[in-house]
Amino acid sequence: MLVPETIVCVDCGGTCSRLSYEPDDGFAPGAVVAYRCRDCGDRWDLVIDDDDTV
């Protein structure tokens, strides 16, 4: 599964950097990937879903 390096913060529109390192064999469906917003410091946990193209 491909997950983005960054996502857009829902709260402030800033950039959230990925905190979790990608495993060698990639993220499995159901894995939780954590992001931290550079602007407001909020943490976002993204669940990798099989039928959800990120």
Contact positions vs Zn ion (CB under 5 A): 9, 11-12, 14, 37, 39-40, 42
When the beta carbons of 1 and 20 are compared against Zn ion, the nearer one is 20
Rounded CA gap, 54 and 46, in Å?
Answer: 10
Least separation in angstroms between CB 28 and Zn ion: 27
Residue 18, amino acid:
R
Least separation in angstroms between CB 3 and Zn ion: 18
Give the side-chain half-sphere CA count within 13 A for 14: 14
When the beta carbons of 11 and 52 are compared against Zn ion, the nearer one is 11
